[in-house]
Structure formats: structure tokens, C-alpha cells
Amino acid sequence: MNDKIESIAILGGTGDLGGGLARQWSRAGYQVLIGSRTLEKGQAAAKALLDEFPDLNVTGHENLDAASRADIVVLTVPFAHQLSTLEVVKEALKGKILIDVTVPLVPPRVGTVQLPEGGSAALMAQTVLGDEVQVVSAFQNVGAQHLREDHKIECDVLVTGDKRAARDTVIKLVEAVGLRGWHAGPLANSAAAEVLTSVLITINRHHKIDGAGIVITGEPATD
């Protein structure tokens, strides 16, 4: 396990959430590798970001190449493509942390909670990848549009995973994009963050909010 994170691969970095995270992490000083199912799409996504923000350190790749090169890997693909993407990059993830952002949304009823038989998308990822990969669940409840804008983001991030050290690493990456991360327990608790996404979608629609999030009240002890 590489304790020093310098490069981050974002599989599904061509989407809104992946692109937003790429922008924020690059500005925080990380090298970002945007992965896609094809090299052309990965390169096009990187070029689009660089055209808008020339100062970014981003490159485009095919998913397997991005996962192989990076210190840590983030999965931001739609639920329908989660497991097929992991099968492609499985060998490249051994010994690494995978941050799984997947939410089990099933169109057209995305505002209705629909957890998979595996318990949660993150638990399904861990089952597919095995013990040689540390899966950590995070970022499900952050509106992608906020990550693509320059303003303070009023949203906290629930971070779940079976190893505290892996959660610590991910919380540092959460803080690097200006958010506050919370240890939220083992990976089984990822179901809570995943179902909150459908709840937030419903809140957004009903109350006409542009990207509602969650905030944990209270301040941690300093000792």
C-alpha cells in the first residue's frame, strides 16, 4: 500500500462528478489521470478541462492504463457499468485503495431507494475485488456542479471502509477539495450514504434546490 498519494486515477472522469473531482484535486497539487472506456474519450475529457483551466495537471487515458499508473483510484461510473469496469481494472487495483462513489440508482425511479442484493454498491465492489484491494466509499452526496465552481461547498462527506488507515487517506483527499470528511464506520455502512443520494434527489426536485447536500452538526474533540 502506497502511503504517499501523488497521483489519482478517476475512472469515469468524463462525467460531471469525475470531472469536478479532477479539477479540484489537480488544483490541490495532485496529478490526475482521467480514465474512460476508450483512450479517445479520456483524452477528450482531459483536453476539455485544460481548455477551461490551463493550469491543471490532468491527462487522458483508457481505464486500465489510468488505474495501473496511479497511486489511488476513484470509480465514478454509473451503477450499470460499475462491475464491468472493475473486472477490466481488477489486476491493476491490487495493493491500492479504491474510492467507490457508485450509487445504485435505477432509472427512471432515481428518487426511490433501491439497494442491490449485495447490500450496497461498495460492498459489491469489495466482493468482486477481494481482500487485496481496500474499498472505501465516499462522495455520494456531493452535487457535481459544486465541484466545477469556485465557491465554498456546504456539504460533508461520509467515508466508510473496513480499514481506518484507508479511511484516513481518503479523508485527506476529501479535505483537499475543501470538504469535511467523517469516519462513518465499516464498509457495510456505505448503504446509508448511497440511499441518501435518492433522498437528496427527491429534496432537490421538490424544493427546487440546486445540489442539496448533508452537513454533520457538532465539533469533534481536539484531544
94, 175, 180 from 219: Cα distances, Å: 36, 16, 11
Q: Which domain holds residue 32?
A: 7-207
Query: Does the residue 106 lie in any domain?
Result: yes
Q: How far apart are CA 197 and CA 110, in angstroms?
A: 9
Query: Does the residue 172 lie in any domain?
Result: yes
Query: Does the residue 168 lie in any domain?
Result: yes
Query: Does the residue 167 lie in any domain?
Result: yes
- Residue 49's H or E segment, with its range, is helix 39-52
Amino acid (1-letter code) at residue 59 = T
Q: Residue 145 has what pLDDT? A: 80
Q: How far apart are CA 67 and CA 75, in angstroms?
A: 10
CATH code, 41: 3.40.50.720
Query: Does the residue 184 lie in any domain?
Result: yes
Residue whose entry in the numeric block shows the C-alpha cell 469533534: 220
Q: Residue 24 has what pLDDT? A: 92
Q: Residue 58 has what pLDDT? A: 96
| Local confidence pLDDT in tens for the 223 residues of the chain | 445 899 999 999 888 899 999 999 999 999 999 999 999 999 999 999 999 889 889 999 999 999 999 999 999 999 999 999 999 999 999 999 999 999 999 888 899 999 999 999 999 999 999 999 999 999 999 988 888 777 788 899 999 999 999 999 999 999 999 999 999 999 999 999 999 999 999 999 999 998 889 999 998 887 6
Q: How far apart are CA 87 and CA 95, in angstroms?
A: 16
How many domains does the structure of the chain reveal?
1
Query: Does the residue 13 lie in any domain?
Result: yes
